[in-house]
């Protein structure tokens, strides 16, 4: 995983509430075990028409969304099934952080393990971001803050271990591997 300390990007806004993992990546794309290429299927049923042509009215297909790495979503993002393919698709597309007022627990866990930062903000801070698509946001993982339109900042919670892993670009197994000497020393005493 790529370490995350600070993310600076324009935001892309999808204000829909209760976006589930099947909407993030439809089940027909889940026949793969490789993460590569899933970004093309991200929000497929919304991004493409029945003939596979991009819909001009879907935000990810607009020139303004190109290069954005922060998705501001409506309430309750990532609900539904526990498929890990949803964060895989977001990361493969280029999204580094998702901001909502609520993120489903399993989606949050899968995201953190795959290098995607799920951020939960209070409703007022979130509403200011929803109202400002394309806002140049700065996310500081070390300080656990995001900049807001109008110049303020908002704090967000994240578990200490998950924060450590994201900042150092390791998943749980990668963290354990960094502890190999300490584990061997402990085991030699047992």
Write down the H helix ranges in the chain.
Answer: 21-24, 44-47, 85-93, 105-112, 123-130, 160-168, 172-178, 180-189
CA–CA gap between residue 86 and residue 167 (Å, rounded): 21
The predicted pLDDT at position 165 comes to 95
The predicted pLDDT at position 180 comes to 85
What is the edge-to-edge ordering of all strands in the sheet holding 117-120? 117-120, 97-100, 70-73, 6-14, 136-140, 145-147, 153-155
The predicted pLDDT at position 32 comes to 76
The predicted pLDDT at position 173 comes to 82
Averages of pLDDT over runs of 10 residues in the chain (190 residues) are: 96 97 92 85 96 96 96 96 90 98 96 96 98 98 97 97 96 83 87
The predicted pLDDT at position 9 comes to 98
The predicted pLDDT at position 139 comes to 98
pTM of the model: 0.92
The predicted pLDDT at position 53 comes to 97
């Amino acid at each position: 995983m790529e370490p995350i300390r600070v993310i600076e990007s324009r935001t892309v806004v999808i204000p829909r509430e209760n976006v589930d993992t099947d909407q993030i990546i439809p089940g027909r794309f889940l026949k793969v075990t490789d993460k590569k290429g899933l970004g093309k299927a991200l929000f497929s049923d919304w991004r493409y028409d029945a003939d596979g042509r991009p819909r001009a009215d879907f935000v990810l297909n607009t020139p303004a969304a190109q290069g954005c790495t922060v998705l501001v979503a409506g309430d309750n993002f990532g609900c539904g099934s526990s498929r890990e393919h949803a964060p895989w698709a977001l990361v493969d597309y280029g999204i580094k952080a998702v901001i909502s007022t609520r993120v489903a627990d399993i989606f949050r866990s899968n995201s953190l393990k795959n290098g995607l930062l799920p951020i939960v903000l209070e409703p007022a801070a979130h509403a200011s971001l929803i109202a400002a698509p394309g806002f140049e946001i700065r996310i500081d993982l070390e300080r656990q803050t995001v900049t807001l339109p109008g110049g303020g900042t908002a704090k967000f919670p994240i578990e200490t271990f998950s924060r450590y892993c994201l900042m150092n670009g390791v998943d749980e197994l990668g963290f354990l591997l960094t502890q190999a000497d300490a584990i061997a020393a402990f085991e030699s005493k047992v």
